[in-house]
A and B are shown apart, each in its own frame.
Chain A
Amino acid sequence: MSEILLEGHALGVHGEGVSIAPVDFSLARGGRLTLLGETGSGKSLIAQAIMGTLPSGLAASGELTIEGQAYAAAEGATRRALWGRRLALLPQEPWHALDPTMASGAQVAESHRYLRGLGRRRAREAARRDLVGLGLGLADAEGSLPGELSGGMAQRVAFAAASAGGAPLVIADEPTKGLDAPRRDAVVRLLAATPQRGGALLTITHDIEVARRLGGEVILLRRGRVVERGPAERLLSAPRSDYAKRLLEAEPSRWPAPPPPPATCGEPVVEARGLAKWRGGRALFRDLALSLRPGEIVGVVGPSGCGKSTLGDLLLGLTGTDAGEVKRAAGHRLAFQKLYQDPPAAFSPHWSLARLLDDLVRRHRLDRTAIAPLMTRLGLDRELLARRPGEISGGELQRFAILRVLLMEPRFLFADEPTSRLDPITQRDTLALLVELARERHCAVMLVSHDPALIERLCDRRLVLGQGEAVLAPESLDAQAV
């Protein structure tokens, strides 16, 4: 009885260095299908294969049936006529997907005008209704340029623009990338409305929580192969495959507790008082007081753009304060270090890791013998030293970054989303190591993350930014005495 909207028969992708093994799926009206997988599992390629937008060098194989009509997956151009009308693609990063020089309202209205053939005025009214229906204040969004919108608002405008053509089949490619938990949940609710209206939803995500909330069928992918598939409730609570089990265990809420914090002894490593920073006439934070002791792990959470990285730069002395002062404990000049978000960007790409480490050791006259034991601790194989940064995995490279930073015997380490580009399993292992080593070496760590569960699990204290002024969570009161 239920009408099938989308069917894939042995849909696969192959080409330059990637391949997706043929996969079958079907989506009926009201159906939800989630492709779940870590970065690099090739899940976005499946969306591109369906849309017919695979980059040159990659080719799709197999067949697609969209609303009863059969298409050869390899002939991408055949689906162009469906775009917007039968097949809607919600873009990955809505901020970039909206034309920066056109008002948001107009970008929704043009879909109504050119896809549904409405007149200029009626299209504008329809766009207005869409935006209000998505809970966007009329005056807020309609005339605003995308650059003025928050990430969540941009996501809704992009959703309205993509779905204005009335396509029953919606493909959402990593719709929650870079959003914090509340905004992520709002997007999930928005997506869930499509199947409720009688459409069908295909979501591609790396976020287990998104898959859980959306429900429906889940296909778990790893390195281009289906590892396990089944209803979300079953797969995400009682997985059968080994990989799915490990993946679920890697969710921050299930992490084992970290080693206990050291007794609060020792002078603070870094202290701030009355700290304030303004950006664009708005206070990122003001009157911020904090103090970190050796070996302490403090988490920083808050929405994107709230000044998390700026706080790190202030504490490290890389940028000036607008008010207040930062006091760093006396020590050698390399004692204040930063761990970066994107490991490949933090390494010079053309030299072997051995050479890069060697340069560092010579430049700062470090102890060369410290490298080998640290590599063992970090689970890094000696053979990796001969390779260049681009030739090892992101997880390995981030562990090299940790190694590099620990060689300098830091007393304070600002870790700016150090694992956000890593898959969940690698993330857990990497962070566990970081915490363990920091404790051992009495290095204070400030850990930034957009995942509150992770911070809660790992950190002794938590700093919440983004409410105009910084809020230190209550559990920190004893250590906060400044």
Chain B
Amino acid sequence: MDAINARRFGSRRFPALGAGLGRVLLPRLLQAGLVAWLVGTLTFVLTRTLPGDMAYRIAAGRYGHDMVDGAAAEAVRTELALDQPALLAYLSWLGDLLRLDLGRSLVSGAPVIEELGHLLGHSLGLAAVALLLSLLLGPPLGLAAGLRPGGALDRVSEAVASLLRALPPFALGLLLILLFSVSLGWLPAAGHGRSAHFVLPALTLALALAAVSSRVARHAMVEVSGSAYYAFSRTKGLGERLSFLRHGLRNVALPIVAYLGVQFVTLIEGVVVVETLFAWPGIGHALVHAIVARDLPMIQGTALLMGLLFVALNTGVDLFCHGLDPRRRQP
């Protein structure tokens, strides 16, 4: 009898961590494919429609601006078959993509995938430090503000967050450089190699991220601490500390983590700007250079990587939420 019951109600048990994982991963996989195709196509169309002669630009990228003449451009045009019809070029690129072949850089001649692999490491390092920093700054501040809504900390942090969010990353970066490198001379203004080089670019990104996540955390805390279940936990006799740990933390974390998915847009777009500003040898920096040089395979490869990175990071957020919130694991 018990065995029958156990089987019959088996599905009513608390959902296991792995339950419903397919529902998270499958759509993301499809999304990754779609993103790859869309990003590749868009960059292709956009580069083709950019003004100026591609061959000249590429030749300039290879030999330097002063060395370019009509003959060099013609040589490049013939070598790279730039005068073939756009559709044909598009289809051959698509075919290469299906074989996971991103081609070779038109400028350096090295395989794009190798170049990107090298650059990606730098970018991910910077992004990870920035994200970690933003999580250390934003949510704790938000929770503290949310425990006393309307208090001094709440109002000051709201003003600062609005200001930081309103500043574009390059302006924020410049201000930080002015303050810490030019005026105080504490930190290097640009470059790469020592850990001190991480501080300013990571801080630029982190402040923009923390500005938003602190407010998300603050609102989540206000909502949770005003909720009936939080009040019940207290009157049940659990006390402030246990109520926060057992019923506050997880419920507060949910919107913060979920919002991280949105914030990755800021992070990835920020990486492009910040890397350029601080001369950080990552994919954002490479993208800007590739666009200037009309290095189509590099542009496509970089944009593709960023698109896929966005999908991958969001999948990570999904998985994290999946583990955090049992409601998502229900059948």
A residues contacting B by CB (< 8 A) are 51, 53, 83-85, 88-89, 91-93, 96-103, 105, 110-111, 114-115, 137, 139-140, 142-145, 147-148, 158, 161-162, 165
Contact = CB atoms under 8 A, between A and B. Distances in A.
Contacts of A105: 14
B231 A91 contact: yes
Contact of B327 (A114, A115, A145, A162): A145
B5 interface: yes
A110 B251 CA distance: 17
B231 A98 contact: no
13 contacts: A91-B235, A97-B231, A99-B233, A99-B246, A102-B247, A102-B326, A103-B326, A110-B242, A110-B246, A115-B236, A139-B8, A148-B330, A162-B236
A165 B327 contact: no
Nearest to A115: B237
Contact of A96 (B6, B229, B330): B229
Contact of B326 (A114, A137, A142, A145): A145
B327 A147 contact: yes
Contacts of B232: 89, 91, 97-98, 158, 161-162
A110 B238 contact: yes
A203 to B, nearest CB: 16
B67 to A, nearest CB: 65
**A92, A93, A99, A147: most-surrounded residue (chain B CB, <10 A):** A99
B234 interface: yes
Interface of B: 5-6, 8-10, 12-14, 227-229, 231-239, 242, 246-247, 250-251, 254, 324-327, 330
Given A83-B237, A110-B238, A115-B237, A143 B228 contact: no
A53 B235 contact: yes
A49 to B, nearest CB: 14
A114 B238 contact: yes
B254 A101 contact: yes
B237 A111 contact: yes
Highest count of chain A CB atoms <10 Å: which of B5, B235, B236: B236
Contacts of A103: 14, 326
A24 B242 CA distance: 35
A96 B228 contact: yes
A215 B13 CA distance: 39
Given A83-B237, A99-B246, A143-B14, 18 more contacts: A53-B235, A83-B236, A89-B232, A91-B228, A99-B229, A99-B247, A100-B229, A100-B327, A101-B254, A102-B246, A114-B239, A114-B242, A139-B12, A145-B14, A145-B330, A148-B12, A161-B236, A165-B237
B5 A139 contact: yes
| Max chain A C-beta neighbours (<10 A), residue from B232, B233, B242, B325 | B232
B133 to A, nearest CB: 28
Nearest to B232: A97
Contacts of A51: 235
A194 to B, nearest CB: 16
Contacts of B325: 101
9 closest Cβ pairs, A-B complex: A84-B237, A139-B9, A143-B14, A96-B228, A97-B232, A143-B13, A83-B237, A89-B235, A103-B14
